[in-house]
Amino acid sequence: MGAHHEKQFPGEDDAYRSARDTLLAAEKELRLRTEEVAALRRTLPQGGAPGEDYAFIDCASDQAVKLSELFADGKNSLAIYSLMFAPGDDAPCPMCTSLLDGLDGQAGHINDRMNFAVAAKASTMELNDWAQQRGWNNLHLISSGGNSYNVDYFAEDEDGNQWSMMNVFVKDAGAAVTHSWGSELFLSPPEDGLHNRHVDQLWPLWNLFDLTPEGRGADWYPGLNYT
């Protein structure tokens, strides 16, 4: 694959440049494969309709909001991230929190093109308190504590454990809502050496670590704070 260019970094020798050219070809191939997978995702046939028009509680208004009402006019795609945060928990999942720390800053850009919400089983009071602690000012937070959304879309198991999931829904011209995509990598058995983190493509943290010689590390995970 034609990836070579004529630029050279200061002080690099031939062996370093050759290794970089090999890596660059692999990086270009990965980018092309990523585009192919995204195109494949866009060609999925229509998914199933939700069993009900789930009623959530909006954390900003403390009023009920239905799934169908989470779609703004002219925006037909809705992504819902399920935050691992059950009623009575001291704090949500640190991994989820790390992801949402970043998405809060991107929310203005996201909402200009699509709909995005964060659902958790915790109460609106608990969600708002946590958002205040983290400085989340832009995320659309909704409580799923009064419906079966978490169970139906694999964010809660039969024992009541909370799990992270990203699900995408679409609304057609007739206002019918259907499921479009879910982060099923989380549900599939992990391959050797492949952690089943399922939303890495949205998460700059891991991708930034991948640029370094130390990489992601075998044992490091995000914390809620660092001392």
For 180-219, the pLDDT digits (tens) are 999 988 888 777 766 667 888 888 898 999 999 999 888 8
- pTM equals 0.92
CB within 8 A of 1, min separation 6: which ones? Answer: 25, 28, 29
Please tell me the least confidently modeled range out of 13-27, 40-54, 91-105, 180-194: 180-194
Q: What is the average per-residue pLDDT within 77-106?
A: 97
State the CATH class of domain 55-184. Answer: alpha beta
pLDDT for the residue 45: 94
Which strands form 165-171's sheet, in the order they lie side by side? 64-66, 55-58, 141-143, 115-120, 77-82, 165-171, 177-182
Q: What is the mean pLDDT of residues 94-114?
A: 96
For the chain, the domains span: 11-43, 55-184
pLDDT-derived band at 135 (thresholds 50, 70, 90) equals very high
Residue 1 in this model has a pLDDT that exceeds 60: no
pLDDT above 80: residue 48 = yes
